[in-house]
């Protein structure tokens, strides 16, 4: 009989074989931690393929990444780049997931180096190359080494304002002191204008006012505050911090933010502000890329005011890509990263679309062949001028970077304080989260 | 071939399938649980190659973790509320749809649709509905029922309510189908006899329908509870746990601990806690409902 049922013995063997196969498949799928996904010599002719983690935004589109990668590949013969796209703008979280599954990319765009350096996952750049090319060579250095070329910087947050709406409320110029700022908010509200737009539905966006106030009031007076927090010399529950945070609570309590602000998504907050639904918007300088070109002159910007009117610029030097310490082709990875980081075409896209402030040595805005608004030029002046620059709390990627996970706790506190008077309680939670994260 | 030999071969084949099923269960369920249990005794960090054995310190840390306590509270309250609402609605819909015509069969399929949709899609769709300028607010504003948009996802209490509402909507598809299947096995003669005896609608429902669908209710309630206790995808897409972590379920907290805070070891300990809590609740509820089946 040709088509008879398999014997019990062969069925058992088949079952055992299947189970063994599945077990082996399961085992082989779990790559070792720290593995790199790149493959040297994976193509014919000695070419190398390296993986590159990117992220997309309305400004940094698929087309931007593809073009910039193609240009970088041309600069490094024999190199092929496999683009990976983070599923959200949180590159750090995705890079960690890739690392946990043994697929840590060879190149990683705009991640926070401190988290990964502690695990020995990143390779530092040659300091002489960094010194030769960038205005602030140590701007985002971590423990004395540069892991991401300091190609550009941001001010986080700036206070953008609508000049027309200010005029309608009888305000002729932006506020200088905190008292002026509060008086202007009151005047705008009285005139029936929403004083401040807040995209509180996205946690990072909800934290912008608090970041502005803390950077101005706390780091403005003590630029080493974050380092001292690491050393345990200061705390969030200190009186000066709570006083600063109480200012944010006052703003929320007085109704200076948009109605239902915690339900407004970040993308909608941009539309609301640019379409004239609110007079001010506290956001990172990348908002400059969203200023409507047809009425850009309606918009101006100033720094979060301090009590005495002194100027404090919450500053963060970002940059391009980090290089995996475990990449199979470090020379080619470095050559690609350096070529990408100096490519003027990339700067043009980053400046015009993402409002990035370029940090290349010996260049002016004109050298990048960009078309930017007056508010961009005025804002860039805060970067190039001599003034008090402090780390933007939660955004610095240097030694002032907050420990892993703290940003989420910080964002949650910002949202909680929108409707809770318990400033001390929220700050105690932050201290507790900091202690857990640094234990 | 004799019948006895055929029977023996059939039993052997079944045995082999059982072995395969057990192997798969061991590979994909038991092994990860055991690995998680082991990791919960370490300080594993996803970025580091090596982890240290830390004993039960992850478990003692949980005693002082306020974020864990609030996520557990949210999860338990949501699970109970969603289970109650989804099952009550499921019985209601099942009674309405317990007809044999084509239109009712189509409606049954429609009722089950939410259950087959991916949680992420459900979350995104409802985010558009419940947004500040979403469909629901437009509808309520245009009918004059509200004067200003409601922040369904923007205030802690309303966001918790919204998450519960969406989870209940999804589960109602499942509970409807389970109760419908149970209802269709109730002999019509019972109702006819009760009607002859003068029993009204409520009496028939209380004395016939509820006892007869009780086994289905036990399954439906237990699975609803377990599903809601591990709720993650809908919340991740709908609120990301916000605002101010008010809708952070324990499952979402575990993911955040592991991949944002780099605390795999601690996340594993919390996962073990969730496993134990879920198992305890499921066993208790199943036991209570089975006892109730007998009482009814």
- Print the SS3 string covering chain B: CCHHHHHHHHHHHHHHHHHHHHHHHHHHHHHHHHHHHHHCCECCCCCCCCCCECCCHHHHHHCCCHHHHHHHHHHHHHHHHHHHHHHHHHHHHHHHHCCCCHHHHHHHHHHHHHHHCCHHHHHHHHHHHHCCCCHHHHHHHHCCCCCCCCCCCCCHHHHHHHHHHHHHHHHHHHHHHHHHHHHCCCCHHHHHHHHHCCCCHHHHHHHHHHHHHHHHHHHHHHHHHHHHHCCCHHHHHHCCCCCCCCCCCHHHHHHHHHHCCCCHHHHHHHHHHHHHHHHHHHHHHHHHHHHHHHHC
Please report residues of A whose CB lies closer than 8 A to that of B262: 96, 115, 404-405
Say if residue A3's pLDDT is above 80.
Answer: no
Mean of the pLDDT values across residues A164-181? 96
Mean model confidence pLDDT for chain B: 91
Name, in order, each residue with C-beta under 8 angstroms of A433's C-beta and a sequence gap of 6 or more: A405, A406, A409, B67
CA angle A294/A296/A299 to nearest 5° reads: 145
Per-residue pLDDT tens over the stretch B181-231: 999 888 888 989 999 988 888 999 888 998 899 999 999 999 999 999 999
The yes-or-no verdict on residue B296 having pLDDT over 70 is no
The whole-model pTM stands at 0.82
> Does the beta-carbon distance from A15 to B154 stay under 8 Å?
no
Provide, rounded to the nearest whole percent, the portion of chain B with pLDDT above 90.
Answer: 66
Q: Does B49 sit within 8 Å of A34, measured CB to CB?
A: yes
Residue B289 has pLDDT above 90, yes or no: no
Q: Which of B13, B20, B259 sits opposite A93 (nearest CB)?
A: B259
Q: Taking 60 as the threshold, does the pLDDT of residue B174 lie above it?
A: yes
What mean pLDDT is predicted for residues A59-84?
A: 94
> Cβ A263–B23 below 8 Å, yes or no?
no
Residue A32 has pLDDT above 60, yes or no: no
Distance CA A375, CA B274 (A): 52
Give the CA angle between residues B168, B173, B174 to the nearest 5°.
Answer: 95
A213 to chain B, closest Cα gap in Å: 19
pLDDT for residue B1: 58
In the predicted model, is pLDDT for residue B253 greater than 90? yes
Say what the pLDDT of residue A20 is: 40
Query: Could A15 and B17 be called an inter-chain contact, meaning their C-beta atoms sit closer than 8 Å?
Result: yes
For residue B259, the distance in angstroms to the closest alpha carbon of chain A comes to: 6
Q: Do A19 and B256 lie within an 8 Å CB cutoff?
A: no
Residues of A in contact with B31 (CB under 8 A): 26
User: How far apart are the C-alpha atoms of A60 and A88, rounded to whole Å?
Assistant: 13
Q: Kindly state the average pLDDT of the residues A32-45.
A: 46
Taking an 8 Å cut-off on Cβ atoms, the answer to whether A22 and B23 are in contact is: yes
The pair of three-digit structure tokens given for residue B239, joined into one six-digit string? 């609120």
Which residues in chain B are contacts of A429 at CB distance < 8 A? 66
Cα B201 to chain center, whole Å?
Answer: 31
User: How does pLDDT run across A393-439, given as a tens digit for each residue?
Assistant: 999 989 999 988 899 899 999 999 998 999 999 999 999 999 988 87
3-class SS of residue A154: strand
Residue B157: closest C-alpha in chain A: A419
A121, A412, A436 member nearest B47 (Cβ): A121
At A39 the pLDDT is: 55
Cβ-Cβ contacts under 8 Å for B190 (sequence gap 6 or more): B208, B212
Which residues does chain B have within 8 Å of residue A116's beta carbon, measured at their own beta carbons?
A: 47
Query: Is B66–A415 a contact, with Cβ atoms under 8 angstroms apart?
Result: no
Rg (CA), chain A: 25
Note whether ipTM > 0.90 here.
Answer: no
Residue A263 to residue B131, Cβ atoms within 8 A? yes
Percent of chain B with pLDDT over 70: 98
């Amino acid at each position: 009989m040709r088509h008879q049922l398999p014997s019990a013995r062969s069925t058992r063997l088949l079952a055992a074989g299947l189970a063994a196969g599945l077990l082996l498949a399961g085992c082989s799928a779990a790559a070792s931690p720290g593995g790199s996904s790149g493959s040297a010599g994976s193509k014919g002719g000695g070419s190398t393929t390296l993986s590159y983690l990117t992220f997309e935004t309305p400004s940094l589109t698929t087309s931007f990444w593809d073009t910039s990668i193609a240009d970088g590949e041309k600069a490094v013969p024999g190199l092929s780049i496999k683009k990976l796209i983070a599923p959200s703008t949180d590159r750090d979280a995705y890079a960690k997931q890739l690392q946990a599954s043994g697929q840590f990319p060879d190149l990683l765009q705009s991640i926070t180096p401190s988290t990964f350096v502690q695990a020995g996952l990143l390779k530092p750049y040659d300091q002489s190359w960094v010194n030769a090319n960038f205005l602030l060579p140590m701007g985002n250095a971590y423990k004395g080494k540069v892991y991401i070329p300091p190609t550009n910087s941001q001010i986080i947050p700036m206070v953008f304002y609508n000049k027309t709406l200010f005029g309608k409320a009888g305000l002729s110029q932006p506020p200088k002191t905190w008292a002026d700022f509060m008086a202007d908010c009151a005047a705008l509200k009285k005139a029936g204008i929403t004083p401040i737009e807040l995209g509180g539905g996205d946690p990072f966006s909800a934290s912008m006012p608090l970041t502005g106030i803390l950077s101005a009031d706390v780091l403005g007076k003590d630029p080493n505050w974050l380092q001292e927090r690491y050393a345990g010399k200061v705390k969030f529950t200190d009186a000066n911090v709570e006083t600063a945070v109480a200012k944010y609570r006052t703003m929320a309590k007085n109704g200076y933010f948009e109605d239902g602000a915690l339900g407004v998504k970040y993308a909608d907050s941009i539309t609301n502000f640019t379409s004239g639904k609110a007079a001010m918007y506290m956001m990172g300088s990348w908002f400059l890329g969203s200023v409507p070109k047809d009425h850009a002159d309606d918009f101006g910007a100033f720094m979060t005011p301090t009590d005495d009117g002194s100027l404090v610029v919450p500053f963060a030097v970002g940059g391009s890509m980090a290089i995996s310490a475990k990449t199979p082709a470090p020379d080619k990875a470095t050559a690609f990263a350096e070529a990408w980081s100096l490519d003027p075409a990339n700067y043009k896209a980053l400046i015009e679309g993402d409002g990035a402030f370029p940090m290349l040595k010996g260049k002016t805005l004109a050298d990048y062949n960009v078309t930017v608004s007056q508010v961009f030029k005025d804002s860039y002046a805060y970067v190039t001028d001599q003034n008090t620059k402090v780390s933007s709390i939660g955004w610095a990627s240097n030694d002032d970077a907050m420990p892993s996970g703290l940003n989420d706790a910080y964002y949650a506190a910002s949202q909680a304080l929108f409707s809770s008077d318990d400033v001390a309680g929220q700050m105690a939670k932050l201290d507790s989260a900091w202690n857990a994260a640094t234990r | 071939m004799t019948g006895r030999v055929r029977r023996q071969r059939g039993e052997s084949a079944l045995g082999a399938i059982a072995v395969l099923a057990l192997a798969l269960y061991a590979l994909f369920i038991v092994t990860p649980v055991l690995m998680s249990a082991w990791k919960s005794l370490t300080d594993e960090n996803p970025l580091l190659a090596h982890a240290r054995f830390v004993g039960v310190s992850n478990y003692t840390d949980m005693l002082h973790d306020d974020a864990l306590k609030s996520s557990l509270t949210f999860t338990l309250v949501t699970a109970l509320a969603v289970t109650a609402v989804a099952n009550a609605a499921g019985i209601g819909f099942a009674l309405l749809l317990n007809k044999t015509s084509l239109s009712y069969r189509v409606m049954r399929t429609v009722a089950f649709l939410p259950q087959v949709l991916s949680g992420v899609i459900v979350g995104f769709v409802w985010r558009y509905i419940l947004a500040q300028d979403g469909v629901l607010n437009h509808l309520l504003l245009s009918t004059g029922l509200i004067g200003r948009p409601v922040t369904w996802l923007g205030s802690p209490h309303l966001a918790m309510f919204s998450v519960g509402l969406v989870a209940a909507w999804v589960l109602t598809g499942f509970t409807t189908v389970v109760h419908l299947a149970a209802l269709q096995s109730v002999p019509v003669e019972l109702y006819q006899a009760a009607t002859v005896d003068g029993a009204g609608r409520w009496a028939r429902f209380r004395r016939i329908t509820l006892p007869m669908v009780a086994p289905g209710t036990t399954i439906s309630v237990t699975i609803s509870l377990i599903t809601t206790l591990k709720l993650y995808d809908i919340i991740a897409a709908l609120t990301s746990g916000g605002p101010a972590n008010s809708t952070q379920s324990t499952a979402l907290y575990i993911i955040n601990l592991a991949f944002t805070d780099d605390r795999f070891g601690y996340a594993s300990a919390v996962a073990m806690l969730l496993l134990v809590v879920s198992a305890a609740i499921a066993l208790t509820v199943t036991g209570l409902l089975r006892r109730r089946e007998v009482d009814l």
